[in-house]
Amino acid sequence: MGSISISRLSRDIQRHCISRRSKYSFLFAVILPFLAAPSLCHSQQDPGSFDVSLFRTINDGRSVFLGKLVDLNNDVVFPLGVLTPIGFLSYGILSSNVYEVDTGVLAAISEVVSFGVEQGLKRLVKRERPYLALANVHVAEIESGGSYSFPSGHATGAFALATALSLRYPKPSVYIPLHLWALFVAYGRVYLGVHYPSDVFVGGVIGSGTALAVHLLEDRILALKAKIFGGTGEERSCLNGLALSFTPLRGGAVISLSYRL
Protein backbone atom coordinates (compact mmCIF):
# COMPACT_ATOMS: atom_id res chain seq x y z
CA MET A 1 0.00 0.00 0.00
CA GLY A 2 2.83 2.39 0.89
CA SER A 3 4.60 1.86 -2.45
CA ILE A 4 1.34 2.33 -4.36
CA SER A 5 0.66 5.62 -2.55
CA ILE A 6 4.17 6.89 -3.29
CA SER A 7 3.80 5.95 -6.96
CA ARG A 8 0.48 7.72 -7.20
CA LEU A 9 1.85 10.83 -5.46
CA SER A 10 4.88 10.89 -7.77
CA ARG A 11 2.63 10.52 -10.80
CA ASP A 12 0.32 13.33 -9.68
CA ILE A 13 3.22 15.70 -9.02
CA GLN A 14 4.78 15.02 -12.40
CA ARG A 15 1.48 15.47 -14.20
CA HIS A 16 0.99 18.81 -12.45
CA CYS A 17 4.50 19.98 -13.38
CA ILE A 18 4.11 18.84 -16.98
CA SER A 19 0.76 20.60 -17.26
CA ARG A 20 2.27 23.88 -16.07
CA ARG A 21 5.36 23.56 -18.26
CA SER A 22 3.27 22.75 -21.32
CA LYS A 23 1.18 25.89 -20.82
CA TYR A 24 4.26 28.08 -20.44
CA SER A 25 6.00 26.49 -23.44
CA PHE A 26 2.98 27.00 -25.67
CA LEU A 27 2.56 30.61 -24.51
CA PHE A 28 6.26 31.25 -25.12
CA ALA A 29 6.10 29.79 -28.64
CA VAL A 30 3.00 31.80 -29.56
CA ILE A 31 3.38 35.11 -27.70
CA LEU A 32 7.11 35.81 -28.20
CA PRO A 33 6.83 36.27 -32.00
CA PHE A 34 3.93 38.69 -31.52
CA LEU A 35 5.99 40.73 -29.04
CA ALA A 36 9.01 40.76 -31.34
CA ALA A 37 7.09 41.62 -34.52
CA PRO A 38 6.88 45.45 -34.14
CA SER A 39 10.61 45.96 -33.59
CA LEU A 40 11.53 43.50 -36.35
CA CYS A 41 9.26 45.20 -38.86
CA HIS A 42 10.73 48.57 -37.95
CA SER A 43 14.25 47.23 -38.49
CA GLN A 44 13.55 46.46 -42.14
CA GLN A 45 13.26 50.19 -42.76
CA ASP A 46 16.74 50.79 -41.29
CA PRO A 47 19.58 49.78 -43.66
CA GLY A 48 22.01 49.95 -40.74
CA SER A 49 20.13 47.56 -38.47
CA PHE A 50 21.74 44.30 -37.36
CA ASP A 51 19.00 42.32 -39.11
CA VAL A 52 19.68 43.95 -42.48
CA SER A 53 23.47 43.88 -42.01
CA LEU A 54 23.43 40.15 -41.25
CA PHE A 55 21.10 39.60 -44.21
CA ARG A 56 23.61 41.37 -46.49
CA THR A 57 26.50 39.31 -45.16
CA ILE A 58 24.75 35.99 -45.82
CA ASN A 59 23.06 37.03 -49.06
CA ASP A 60 26.26 38.46 -50.57
CA GLY A 61 28.33 35.35 -49.76
CA ARG A 62 27.81 33.72 -53.14
CA SER A 63 29.24 30.34 -54.14
CA VAL A 64 28.29 28.04 -57.01
CA PHE A 65 28.58 24.88 -54.89
CA LEU A 66 26.79 26.46 -51.90
CA GLY A 67 24.05 27.77 -54.18
CA LYS A 68 23.36 24.31 -55.59
CA LEU A 69 23.38 22.77 -52.11
CA VAL A 70 20.97 25.41 -50.78
CA ASP A 71 18.65 24.96 -53.76
CA LEU A 72 18.57 21.18 -53.30
CA ASN A 73 17.94 21.42 -49.56
CA ASN A 74 15.27 24.07 -50.06
CA ASP A 75 13.39 21.83 -52.49
CA VAL A 76 13.19 18.87 -50.09
CA VAL A 77 11.85 20.73 -47.02
CA PHE A 78 8.16 20.49 -47.91
CA PRO A 79 8.27 16.86 -49.16
CA LEU A 80 10.16 15.81 -46.00
CA GLY A 81 7.66 17.63 -43.81
CA VAL A 82 4.79 15.71 -45.38
CA LEU A 83 6.40 12.32 -45.95
CA THR A 84 8.18 11.93 -42.60
CA PRO A 85 5.03 11.67 -40.42
CA ILE A 86 3.39 9.49 -43.09
CA GLY A 87 6.48 7.26 -43.11
CA PHE A 88 6.41 6.77 -39.33
CA LEU A 89 2.67 6.08 -39.40
CA SER A 90 2.99 3.58 -42.24
CA TYR A 91 5.96 1.77 -40.73
CA GLY A 92 4.32 1.68 -37.32
CA ILE A 93 1.07 0.25 -38.66
CA LEU A 94 2.79 -2.36 -40.84
CA SER A 95 5.12 -3.47 -38.04
CA SER A 96 2.50 -3.15 -35.26
CA ASN A 97 4.82 -0.71 -33.51
CA VAL A 98 2.67 1.76 -31.59
CA TYR A 99 5.61 3.96 -30.60
CA GLU A 100 6.39 4.66 -34.25
CA VAL A 101 2.72 5.38 -34.97
CA ASP A 102 2.63 7.83 -32.07
CA THR A 103 5.80 9.48 -33.36
CA GLY A 104 4.10 10.10 -36.69
CA VAL A 105 1.02 11.51 -34.98
CA LEU A 106 3.00 13.86 -32.72
CA ALA A 107 5.27 15.04 -35.55
CA ALA A 108 2.25 15.77 -37.75
CA ILE A 109 0.49 17.71 -34.97
CA SER A 110 3.67 19.73 -34.30
CA GLU A 111 3.95 20.69 -37.94
CA VAL A 112 0.27 21.53 -38.38
CA VAL A 113 0.05 23.70 -35.25
CA SER A 114 3.31 25.53 -36.00
CA PHE A 115 2.11 26.11 -39.57
CA GLY A 116 -1.08 27.68 -38.24
CA VAL A 117 0.84 30.03 -35.93
CA GLU A 118 3.27 30.96 -38.72
CA GLN A 119 0.50 31.70 -41.22
CA GLY A 120 -1.40 33.75 -38.67
CA LEU A 121 1.66 35.91 -38.00
CA LYS A 122 2.33 36.35 -41.71
CA ARG A 123 -1.12 37.80 -42.25
CA LEU A 124 -0.94 39.94 -39.12
CA VAL A 125 2.52 41.44 -39.62
CA LYS A 126 2.57 41.60 -43.46
CA ARG A 127 6.30 42.18 -43.68
CA GLU A 128 7.65 42.57 -47.20
CA ARG A 129 10.27 40.15 -48.38
CA PRO A 130 13.82 41.60 -48.47
CA TYR A 131 14.07 41.52 -52.26
CA LEU A 132 11.05 43.85 -52.36
CA ALA A 133 12.12 46.16 -49.52
CA LEU A 134 15.86 46.37 -50.22
CA ALA A 135 17.97 47.17 -53.28
CA ASN A 136 20.66 44.95 -54.78
CA VAL A 137 19.47 41.68 -53.29
CA HIS A 138 20.61 38.38 -54.77
CA VAL A 139 17.36 36.55 -55.44
CA ALA A 140 17.49 32.90 -56.43
CA GLU A 141 13.82 32.15 -55.87
CA ILE A 142 10.89 34.56 -56.14
CA GLU A 143 7.87 32.91 -54.59
CA SER A 144 4.29 33.34 -55.74
CA GLY A 145 2.59 36.66 -54.94
CA GLY A 146 0.77 37.34 -51.69
CA SER A 147 3.31 35.60 -49.43
CA TYR A 148 4.95 37.66 -46.70
CA SER A 149 8.35 37.39 -45.08
CA PHE A 150 7.79 37.18 -41.31
CA PRO A 151 8.16 34.48 -40.07
CA SER A 152 9.79 31.90 -42.32
CA GLY A 153 7.54 28.93 -43.07
CA HIS A 154 10.48 26.76 -44.13
CA ALA A 155 12.36 27.42 -40.88
CA THR A 156 9.20 26.86 -38.84
CA GLY A 157 8.49 23.50 -40.46
CA ALA A 158 12.11 22.33 -40.35
CA PHE A 159 12.54 23.10 -36.64
CA ALA A 160 9.13 21.66 -35.75
CA LEU A 161 10.06 18.37 -37.41
CA ALA A 162 13.62 18.31 -36.05
CA THR A 163 12.51 19.05 -32.49
CA ALA A 164 9.57 16.64 -32.54
CA LEU A 165 11.78 13.74 -33.67
CA SER A 166 14.62 14.70 -31.33
CA LEU A 167 12.29 14.60 -28.33
CA ARG A 168 11.06 11.13 -29.33
CA TYR A 169 14.59 9.83 -29.99
CA PRO A 170 16.88 11.86 -27.67
CA LYS A 171 20.22 10.63 -28.99
CA PRO A 172 23.10 12.76 -30.34
CA SER A 173 23.03 10.73 -33.55
CA VAL A 174 19.46 11.95 -34.06
CA TYR A 175 19.16 15.48 -32.71
CA ILE A 176 22.53 16.81 -33.91
CA PRO A 177 22.08 16.09 -37.65
CA LEU A 178 18.40 17.03 -37.52
CA HIS A 179 19.08 20.45 -36.03
CA LEU A 180 22.08 21.04 -38.28
CA TRP A 181 19.73 20.37 -41.18
CA ALA A 182 17.13 22.79 -39.78
CA LEU A 183 19.81 25.47 -39.30
CA PHE A 184 20.95 25.00 -42.90
CA VAL A 185 17.33 25.38 -44.06
CA ALA A 186 17.14 28.68 -42.15
CA TYR A 187 20.49 29.84 -43.55
CA GLY A 188 19.39 28.92 -47.07
CA ARG A 189 16.26 31.08 -46.88
CA VAL A 190 18.43 34.15 -46.19
CA TYR A 191 20.97 33.09 -48.83
CA LEU A 192 18.15 32.86 -51.39
CA GLY A 193 17.11 36.43 -50.61
CA VAL A 194 13.56 35.63 -49.51
CA HIS A 195 13.90 36.09 -45.72
CA TYR A 196 15.63 38.23 -43.13
CA PRO A 197 17.61 36.48 -40.36
CA SER A 198 14.91 37.53 -37.88
CA ASP A 199 12.30 35.76 -40.02
CA VAL A 200 14.09 32.42 -39.78
CA PHE A 201 14.97 32.93 -36.11
CA VAL A 202 11.36 33.49 -35.09
CA GLY A 203 10.29 30.63 -37.36
CA GLY A 204 12.73 28.38 -35.50
CA VAL A 205 11.33 29.52 -32.15
CA ILE A 206 7.76 28.81 -33.28
CA GLY A 207 8.63 25.38 -34.68
CA SER A 208 10.72 24.26 -31.70
CA GLY A 209 8.35 25.75 -29.12
CA THR A 210 5.30 24.14 -30.68
CA ALA A 211 7.00 20.73 -30.88
CA LEU A 212 8.03 21.06 -27.21
CA ALA A 213 4.49 21.97 -26.18
CA VAL A 214 3.12 18.96 -28.09
CA HIS A 215 5.73 16.75 -26.43
CA LEU A 216 4.72 17.96 -22.96
CA LEU A 217 1.08 17.30 -23.81
CA GLU A 218 1.98 13.91 -25.26
CA ASP A 219 0.05 11.84 -22.73
CA ARG A 220 -3.19 13.72 -23.29
CA ILE A 221 -2.82 13.66 -27.06
CA LEU A 222 -2.09 9.94 -27.17
CA ALA A 223 -4.88 9.20 -24.70
CA LEU A 224 -7.28 11.02 -27.00
CA LYS A 225 -5.90 9.10 -29.98
CA ALA A 226 -6.40 5.79 -28.13
CA LYS A 227 -9.93 6.82 -27.17
CA ILE A 228 -10.83 7.60 -30.77
CA PHE A 229 -9.00 4.78 -32.57
CA GLY A 230 -8.53 2.25 -29.78
CA GLY A 231 -5.32 0.58 -28.59
CA THR A 232 -3.52 -1.85 -30.89
CA GLY A 233 -0.67 -3.00 -28.70
CA GLU A 234 1.73 -1.88 -26.04
CA GLU A 235 1.78 1.89 -25.62
CA ARG A 236 4.54 3.56 -23.68
CA SER A 237 4.99 7.00 -22.21
CA CYS A 238 7.99 8.23 -20.22
CA LEU A 239 7.77 11.16 -17.80
CA ASN A 240 11.14 12.20 -16.38
CA GLY A 241 12.19 8.68 -15.39
CA LEU A 242 8.72 7.42 -14.54
CA ALA A 243 7.52 4.95 -17.18
CA LEU A 244 3.96 3.82 -17.61
CA SER A 245 3.21 0.69 -19.63
CA PHE A 246 -0.33 -0.02 -20.81
CA THR A 247 -0.83 -3.46 -22.30
CA PRO A 248 -4.36 -4.13 -23.59
CA LEU A 249 -5.03 -7.87 -23.60
CA ARG A 250 -7.12 -9.68 -26.15
CA GLY A 251 -10.79 -8.80 -25.95
CA GLY A 252 -10.01 -5.51 -24.23
CA ALA A 253 -11.28 -6.77 -20.87
CA VAL A 254 -8.05 -6.46 -18.89
CA ILE A 255 -5.35 -3.80 -18.87
CA SER A 256 -2.02 -4.38 -17.13
CA LEU A 257 -0.55 -1.29 -15.48
CA SER A 258 3.05 -1.14 -14.26
CA TYR A 259 5.46 1.53 -13.08
CA ARG A 260 9.20 1.62 -13.64
CA LEU A 261 11.35 4.18 -11.85
Alpha-carbon span 130 to 147, nearest angstrom: 12
Distances (CA, A) of 184 to 9, 10, 77: 44, 41, 11
Tell me the pairing of strands 242-248 and 255-260.
Answer: antiparallel
Domain ranges for the chain, please list them: 16-232
pLDDT attached to residue 39: 52
pLDDT attached to residue 116: 93
Beta bridge partners of 236: 245
pLDDT attached to residue 227: 81
Alpha-carbon span 234 to 243, nearest angstrom: 13
Q: How many CB atoms lie within 10 A of CB 69?
A: 14
pLDDT attached to residue 229: 76
pLDDT attached to residue 32: 53
All residues at 6 or more sequence positions from 164 whose CB lies less than 8 Å from its CB, including other chains: 103, 106, 107, 110, 111, 211, 214, 215
Look up the pTM and report it. Answer: 0.72
CA angle, 135 then 35 then 54, to 5°: 30
Given a contact cutoff of 8 angstroms between Cβ atoms, the answer to whether 215 and 164 are in contact is: yes
Residue by residue, what is the 3-state secondary structure of the chain?
Answer: CHHHHHHHHHHHHHHHHHHHHHHHHHHHHHHHHHHHHHHHHHHCCCCCCHHHHHHHHHHHCCCHHHHHHHHHHHHHHHHHHHHHHHHHHHHHHHCCCHHHHHHHHHHHHHHHHHHHHHHHHHHHHCCCCHHHHCCCCCCCCCCCCCCCCCCCHHHHHHHHHHHHHHHHCCCHHHHHHHHHHHHHHHHHHHHCCCCCHHHHHHHHHHHHHHHHHHHHCHHHHHHHHHHHHCCCCCEEEEECCEEEEEEECHHHCCEEEEEEC
pLDDT attached to residue 257: 41
pLDDT attached to residue 81: 92
Q: How many CB atoms lie within 10 A of CB 233?
A: 13
The ranges of the chain with pLDDT < 50 are 1-7, 9-10, 12-14, 16-20, 22-23, 25-26, 29, 43, 144-145, 232-261
